[in-house]
Amino acid sequence: GQNIDQPTEMTATEGAIVQINCTYQTSGFNGLFWYQQHAGEAPTFLSYNVLDGLEEKGRFSSFLSRSKGYSYLLLKELQMKDSASYLCAVRAYTGGFKTIFGAGTRLFVKA
Amino acid sequence: NAGVTQTPKFRILKIGQSMTLQCTQDMNHNYMYWYRQDPGMGLKLIYYSVGAGITDKGEVPNGYNVSRSTTEDFPLRLELAAPSQTSVYFCASSYSFQQGDQPQHFGDGTRLSIL
């Protein structure tokens, strides 16, 4: 089966940098997504990694190491509006392509 | 550009009642998904569809049924509502192909309470 682990909660200060880790165990790995979800709202796409390395998109970057089953999301220059849950999702081929979501990391940004 | 549209946004059901949650997308995506999200938890995949006429079970399919008669529509049916099905339900769609994947687009969710 598949297993995805993320920290439950993190707190960081406005203007700082925070790294949210995600570890996964799966066969047939075919890509990893990060989504942002504000309270009471739908998830929205942030980043996608399928090869090892770093993908940068403005203040957000995502890293993947397939051999270690590890990814992180890096948020720079934190803003209050970054307070949200961050969901790691793994796509894998298990007789068909499925995307399984982790439980999410709730990030609190304080002034 | 509507994206993924879910109806209703809120609903209260009595135990044993049935209902259908509607989902439609206008992006010509081949894949569609239904998730449930319990308070403070992640998304659990209920059912998904890789194209019209094809559906498959996700992690938590019991108590639900789906159909995909067209590319645009993917309704989720609850036949005998139970309190354990109280949750927020999200429909999503994506364009997926074997070599890669585009991100999923989510509807605004349906908040369902069963009393």
What is the 3 state secondary structure string of A6-36? CCCEEEEECCCCEEEEEEEECCCEEEEEEEE
CB A35 within 8 A of CB A20: no
Query: What is the radius of gyration, based on Cα positions, of chain A?
Result: 14
Answer for the pair A87, B43: CB distance below 8 angstroms, yes or no. yes
Nearest to B103 among A30, A45, A96 (CB): A45
Q: Is the pLDDT of residue B97 over 80?
A: no
pLDDT in tens, B7-27: 999 999 999 999 999 999 999
Among candidates B101, B105, B108 on the partner chain, residue whose Cβ is nearest the Cβ of A31:
B101
Mean pLDDT, residues A33-44? 95
Q: With beta carbons less than 8 A apart as the criterion, state whether B107 and B5 touch.
A: yes
pLDDT tens, residue by residue, A44-97:
999 999 999 999 989 999 999 999 999 999 999 999 999 999 999 998 887 777
Tell me whether residues A31 and B100 touch, CB distance under 8 A. Answer: yes
What is the DSSP-derived secondary structure letter of residue A45? E
Q: How far apart are CA A86 and CA A27, in angstroms?
A: 23
Q: Is B32 on the interface with A (CB under 8 A)?
A: no
CA neighbor of A28 nearest in space, from A97, A91, A93 = A93
A103 phi and psi angles, rounded to 5 deg:
-75, -15
**What residues are paired with B34 via a beta bridge?**
B47, B91
Q: Who contacts B10 (Cβ-Cβ below 8 Å, separation ≥6)?
A: B110, B111, B112
Mean pLDDT of A13-30: 95
Distance from CA of B91 to the nearest CA of A (A): 10
Q: A98 contacts in B (CB within 8 Å)?
A: 45, 48, 58
Q: Give pairs for A14-18: CB < 8 Å, separation 24+.
A: A14/A78, A14/A79, A14/A80, A14/A109, A14/A110, A14/A111, A15/A77, A15/A78, A16/A78, A17/A74, A17/A75, A17/A76, A17/A77, A17/A78, A18/A74, A18/A75, A18/A78, A18/A107
